[in-house]
Amino acid sequence: MMDWTNLIADENWWMEKHFTPGRGGRRITKTVIHHNAGRLSIKGCYDVWQTRQASAHYQVDAYGRIGQYVHDSDTAWHAANNDANATSIGIEHANSGDASSPVTAETLEAGAHLVAAIHRHYDLGRPAWLVNVFPHNHYTQTGCPGHLAGSQNSAYMARAQAWYDAMGSGTTPTTPSPQEDDMALTEDDITRIAAKVTDGLRIGPSGQQATLASFVHAAARDSAAALRAVEALRADLAKVASGGVSADAIVDAVVARIKASR
């Protein structure tokens, strides 16, 4: 089991290459967040870095277990930026599925706890986004760390701060209670969405009026394409201001995407 106070991981797979011994006299000032762009195990990360000139200090797998590869006192090659590498600890997170997937609840919780533990251990201060916690894409053009810099960022940072505060007081933070779904729709909402989405659309060789059922049937024939469309729509909706997403916002986003694909 992870020793959060002394930063002793569940598993250690020490790299023998693709890192720099020491930190060149620099001190640790931040953590840098990454995602796997896939669902890698702790050993899987180690295997990838045997042939790729890269590394990170830690990996959080999809079950919330943590592995370490590079000692904190050494410089991992993770941020594509020498200055950032020399002054940070890099943390990888497994996605729940493919590159576009969010991380699991277990990964988010353990990753946030690890950030808090590192910040306590090295006196980096309370975790704050773009202050002492940075995404990989802050230093180079990349999609990393995916949802951890987007739709899951608020939850991730809230848990990191909760764990940081709890570790300072010797307590355990309470688990957030489930909240009412801001995107829950009424039957009337669903009817309006279906009507607006299919309005004026003709499908098939005879040009019959499209129905919501026809979209479901098409999705069943090509579930991979449907999943990509759902993820793209989810990304669009994530850009909507916080405070809940209205049914009208969902309708507008769906219609815009359908029109763009005609």
Give tens-digit pLDDT for 130-157: 999 999 999 999 999 999 999 999 999 9
pLDDT exceeds cutoff 50 at 183:
no
* CATH number of residue 57's parent domain: 3.40.80.10
User: What distance in Å separates the CA atoms of residue 147 and residue 33, rounded to the nearest whole number?
Assistant: 11
152 with 37, same domain: the answer is yes
What is residue 171's predicted lDDT score, i.e. its pLDDT?
Answer: 82
Residue 175 lies in a domain: no
* pLDDT for 212 beyond 90: no
**Longest CA span, the chain:** 73
- Whether 3 is covered by a domain: the verdict is no
Domain end marker among 142, 169, 196: 169
What's residue 17's pLDDT?
98
- The answer on 32 and 71 residing in a single domain is yes
Q: Which of 111, 142, 169 is the last residue of a domain?
A: 169
Q: Is residue 134 part of a domain?
A: yes
Q: Is residue 182 part of a domain?
A: no
| pTM for this prediction | 0.68
Residues 15 and 145 in one domain: yes
Question: Cα-flanking dihedrals φ and ψ of residue 107, to 5°?
Answer: -65, -45
Nearest to 149 by CA among 70, 215, 193, 91: 91
Judge if 164 and 215 occupy the same domain. Answer: no
Instruction: Indicate whether 148 and 216 sit together in one domain.
Output: no
196 and 149 in a common domain: no
| Arithmetic mean of pLDDT over the chain | 83
**Using N-to-C axis directions, what is the helix angle for 153-169 and 105-121, rounded to 10°?**
50
Residue 18 in domain: yes
Q: Give mean pLDDT, residues 191-211.
A: 59
Question: Is residue 221 included in any domain, yes or no?
Answer: yes
Are residues 73 and 110 both part of a single domain?
A: yes
Same domain, yes or no: 53 and 82: yes
Do 140 and 92 share a structural domain? yes
* Total domains in the fold of the chain: 2
Q: Looking at the structure, do residues 145 and 205 belong to the same domain, yes or no?
A: no
C-alpha 118/C-alpha 72 separation (Å) is 10
Query: What range defines the domain where residue 255 resides?
Result: 187-261
User: How would residue 100 be classed by pLDDT, with cut points 50, 70 and 90?
Assistant: confident
Nearest to 102 by CA among 169, 170, 151: 151
* Residue 53 covered by a domain: yes
75: Cβ–Cβ under 8 A, 6 or more apart, which residues?
19, 20, 21, 22, 23, 24, 85, 86
Instruction: Give pLDDT, residue 242.
Output: 46
Residue 31 in domain? yes
149 and 31, same structural domain?
yes
